[in-house]
Each structure stands twice: as C-alpha cells, then as structure tokens.
Amino acid sequence: MPVFLDTGAPGFEAQFAALISAKREEALDVDDTVAAIIADVRARGDAAVIDLTARFDRQTLTPETLAYTSDEIEAACRAVAPEDRAALDLAATRIRAYHDRQRPEDARWRDDTGAELGWRWSAVSAAGLYVPGGLASYPSSVLMNAIPAQVAGVARLVICAPSPDSVVNPLVLYAARLAGVETIYRIGGAQAIAALAYGTQTIAPVDKITGPGNAYVAAAKRRVFGRVGIDMIAGPSEILVIADAEVDPDWIALDLLSQAEHDESAQSILITPDAAYGEAVAKAVAARLETLARRAIAGASWQAHGAVIVTRDLAEAAALSDCIAPEHLQLCVADPDALLDRIHHAGAVFLGHWTPEAIGDYIGGPNHVLPTARSARFSSGLSVLDFMKRTTLARMTPEALSKIGPAAERLAHAESLEAHGLSVRARLDRLNR
C-alpha cells in the first residue's frame, strides 16, 4: 500500500518531509568506472568505443559500421507499421509546431546616451542526442530531443542509439529520419558520451549532448559537462495529481500507474481534499495492478514510493505541490486555471479532467524531457533555447562614451584594474583634444 497522509493529522509535517526527501534511487558507484571509460576513449578513440561496445552490448563493430548506412535506415523505416508511422508523423508535426513558437527574436536599440545595445541568438554548431537502445528504446524521445535542435538551427545533429545484441527498434530510426537526423551511431553507454564530447577518428565532437540514459550515461554527462553542454541529469520519473472527487477514480489510478510502470524508483502521488476519494483511487490502483502487463514494476513503485495526501482544500494542495515541485503535475479539478495561478514549481502542467499526462509523453506538443527530483524549483524542460546561445551586443558612440566612460574608469580604479581604466581613459582623452 502507498503512504496515506493527512495534513490535519499530528506529525504530518515530519511525514511529508520524509516523503519528499526520501532517496528513490540507489546511487551506483560508477564514477570510477566511467572515468576510466572516458580516459580510454580519449586515448584510443574508435578502438576503445569498438572494444567497449563488444564488451557491454555484445556487438562487433568496425569504424565503418559505427553508424547505420542510409540503406539500413531505409530498410528499418520500411519495417514500421503504417499505423505506427501515422502516429509518429502526427507527433512530429505537433511537436514541431509547438517548438516553432519558442524561437527567440534578436533585438537592438539605442538608449538615452546614444549607445547601441542588444542581443543576437544563434544555434550551437553540433549536438549529440543520446537515445537508450534495444527494444525498450523510445522513439518519442528522439522526436523530443531532435526537433527542438532542428528548429533552433543546429547544423549537425547526430544520434547515439545502442543496439545490444544487434537488436534495432525500427521506430527509433524512423523517428530520427522524421526529425531530420541522418547520422545514427549504434553505440551507447559512457563510451558514447565520451565519443560525442571528445571525438574519435570517426566521430566528430559536438557542442551539446542531450537525452536520457542509465547511471553510467548520467555519470559520463556529469564528467564531460564544461567540455560540452548538457541538458540535465534526469532522475526517476514522477507524477503528482491534484484531484477533486468529480473525476472517475479509475482514470486517476491509470494516470498514477502511467509513471509507476516506468521504473521501480518512479513516484506517483495523489493529493485530494476528499479522503474517501483518495481511498477509492487507491482501490482502483490495486485493481488495475492485477492485470497490468508491467505490474511487477508498477506495483513495486506504488508500494515503495506512492502516496495519497488528504488536504483541507485545494489551496493547501497547491502549496504542497510547490514543495514537491513535480516533474509532471495534473490538475484534475473543476477549475484548473484558478488552481494553476497558485502553482509556481512544476516541470509540466496538464489542465483538467481530459488531459492525462500520457498525452504529453507522445503527442501533446510540449517537450517531455523535464526536470525531476524537485529541480523544477530552478530549472525547465528541454526547449529550443537549450540549443541556442545569446550573444550580447554593444556599440558606443563618442557621445555615449563621454557620458558613461568616466564612471567605468572610476570603477576600474576601485577594483585596482589599471589597464581597464586606461583603455577607457585613452579614448576619453582623444575626445577632449
């Protein structure tokens, strides 16, 4: 059974604090291993990647077969069922339309001194997208990572999608083709991250790496950050549902299980002002777990990390939600917009009884790469801006420099940076001749 909490019960604050601070994932001690893998790839390049792929993925490659050929990609695309093709086509169209609206605008203006100021946006030159491989891989993640990069204008996009035991998911290759990615390497793990960051004889280095992965991939991303940019270090999935008693308990049960079935470390929480409704949802979860294909995973998640919290009202529910700062937040209430006004921290919000989080995973349009583990308090989901850089612009006229230069010179002297002040003073002296 999940944890049942009531904000009106004695000891709630301590119980709630324990819930949101509980460690949901065992921290594997992989950093030393990852450091050795990265060092090996930096030293030996292709040879290290090939050896590590044989060791971990049981696949024999050569420099010439690190990437899929265009014929292999075409063959995989032809193997995709028409219904799956149509679904991915629709998803790609909607994701692209949403992200097209995120493109920022350049700006320039003159201030009251006559100085010209502004900024200019430009895309990173190259990005590497990591996609977990095998039959458990997710074509939706390809679209969610590649389409924002393409919309941003990234000139070179490559994918690393391991294929353990040479098992390939045709949907992943079709999604890559839909997103405009032509180069797909069949490598994974920390060795793929190292190859993307530092390059090998065959694989050119990139400027940004995005995409989910296991503990080794996450540790490698941490280690190469600074050499390249990364999106985030994502933890286990999570969903928080705030619900009134007007929606079918079975719907909410399925919403909670939609994240629980991802991983035994995932977390599903229901907050409701109706205790009887909370009990009804818990019973619906138990009933669904009897028939769910991934019931072993979902059941372990719900048992270890699930929670039902009863509040005095929806305002208190919103306050608790902000403390949790969930990755996914469903507002299954009669007036979700009014409740949304009280919410400040969430990766993605799904409004109303008819908007299950699963729509956001595939077809809604917004990105499903989202901050986890309460990091929505200070970060956002993946967007076009993650593949772009803002460069500031400034142009002084003689008149503008004469007005603000003396203050800059003064501050330079205050910081004991003589050359700074002199670089301004030399120009001011020329103006005063």
Out of 327, 353, 357, 368, the active site residue is 327
Q: Is position 415 annotated as part of the catalytic site? A: no
Contacts of 270 (CB under 8 A, 6+ apart): 240, 241, 243, 252, 256, 278, 281, 307, 308, 309
262, 328, 353, 368: the active-site residue: 328
| 328 catalytic residue (yes or no) | yes
Residue type for 208, please?
A: K
The residue length of the chain stands at 433
**What are the two backbone dihedrals, phi and then psi, of residue 219, each rounded to the nearest 5 degrees?**
-65, -35
Cβ–Cβ < 8 Å for 305, 268 = yes
- Secondary structure class of 345 (helix, strand, coil): coil
Kindly list the strands in the beta sheet with 388-395, ordered across the sheet, starting from the edge strand earlier in the chain.
Answer: 107-110, 116-123, 388-395
- From its phi and psi, is residue 108 left (phi > 0), alpha (psi between -120 and 50) or beta? beta
Q: How many CB atoms are closer than 10 A to CB 231?
A: 24
Q: What is the rounded CA–CA span in Å between residue 34 and residue 328?
A: 30
- What would the two tokens of residue 302 be? 């719900």
Using left for φ > 0, alpha for ψ between -120 and 50, and beta otherwise, residue 41 falls in alpha
Residue carrying structure tokens 């050359």: 419
What's the half-sphere exposure (Cβ side, CA atoms, 13 Å) at 176? 29
Q: What is the residue type of 359?
A: I
Instruction: Give whole-number Cα distances, 157 to 138, 189, 210, in Å.
Output: 18, 18, 11
Element (H, E) at 238: strand 238-243
Q: What phi and psi, each to the nearest 5 degrees, are found at residue 303?
A: -65, -45
DSSP 383-402: -GGGGEEEEEEEE--HHHHH
Q: Report, as residue numbers or ranges, the catalytic residues.
A: 327-328
